[in-house]
Amino acid sequence: DAKTTQPNSMESNEEEPVHLPCNHSTISGTDYIHWYRQLPSQGPEYVIHGLTSNVNNRMASLAIAEDRKSSTLILHRATLRDAAVYYCILRDGAGGGADGLTFGKGTHLIIQP
Amino acid sequence: AAGVIQSPRHLIKEKRETATLKCYPIPRHDTVYWYQQGPGQDPQFLISFYEKMQSDKGSIPDRFSAQQFSDYHSELNMSSLELGDSALYFCASSAAGTSGVADTQYFGPGTRLTVL
């Protein structure tokens, strides 16, 4: 499986934008880039996913590099409730839809009030 | 909106005992996944089922088995429990079908298993 690399932790201030980077230099052409997050004492939660183009939803934006070897999850205005571990996960779009997620180390996002 | 339901939420067992965890997926979801998260660790995929058939297999110990029933709920059976099995066990569900694209997984709150 193609691997992802994320910083262990990042710190930001409340109400400021946060950019969470992810490197995936061995990504294949059929790999989708997914982001999940896990808030303290909760199960993981889907955030966003994309293939080649940048994506926006109500939670975040995903910026994908032109060569697809890196991506950035953008939280436009972080709140204290965004403090969580953020996971960047590659999923093979050519594989079965029921494949499990491979969680790496993730980025522990700390939000300061 | 209805979410994934897991029961029990907490379970305490002795070494060498058995445990059964249950998962009720979101209505109309046909795929269930099981994950294990040890203390201070990241979630690790165990096994998944699509339409009651095993679909993908991760690092599930031979002492564990799982199945998906006709109503799509799933059970994870764990035998000969060891201290190292103490962990949070998450179930997730999705409307995966055969598409790898639209398979957003929705996670339950987890079952905390403690083996003494």
Neighbours of A61 (CB within 10 A): 17
Locate B88 and state its tokens: 């949070």
Measure in Å the smallest separation between the Cα of A35 and chain B Cα atoms: 10
Q: Is A82 helix (H, G, I), strand (E, B) or coil?
A: helix
Measure in Å the smallest separation between the Cα of B21 and chain A Cα atoms: 16
Long-range contact pairs involving B55-64 (C-beta distance under 8 Å, separation at least 24): B55/A96, B55/A98, B55/A99, B55/B31, B56/A96, B56/A98, B56/A99, B56/A100, B58/A100, B60/B34
Number of helices (H) and strands (E) in chain B: give both, helices first.
0, 11
Chain B CB contacts of A105 below 8 Å:
42
Q: Can you say whether the dihedral through the CA atoms of A39, B72, A33, A4 is positive or negative? A: positive
pLDDT range class, residue A56, cuts 50, 70, 90: very high
pLDDT digits over B55-90, tens only?
A: 999 999 999 999 999 999 999 999 999 999 999 999
Whether B96 and chain A come into contact, CB under 8 Å, resolves to: yes
Dist. CA B22–CA B73, nearest whole Å: 7
Q: Which residues in chain B (26-45) have CB-CB distances under 8 A to chain A?
A: 31, 33, 35, 42-45
| Mean pLDDT, chain B, integer | 93
Q: Across residues B8-30, what is the average pLDDT?
A: 97
Do the beta carbons of residue A106 and residue A86 sit within 8 Å?
Answer: yes
Backbone phi, then psi, for A82, in 5-degree steps?
-85, -5
Q: Which residues in chain B (59-88) have CB-CB distances under 8 A to chain A?
A: none
Residue A2 has pLDDT above 90, yes or no: no
Nearest CA in chain B to A87: B42
Residue B12 has pLDDT above 90, yes or no: yes
pLDDT range class, residue B2, cuts 50, 70, 90: confident
Annotate B40-82 with DSSP letters as a single string: TS--EEEEEEETTEEEEE-S--TTEEEEE-TTS-EEEEE-S--
| Mean pLDDT, chain A, integer | 93
Do the beta carbons of residue A79 and residue A111 sit within 8 Å?
Answer: yes
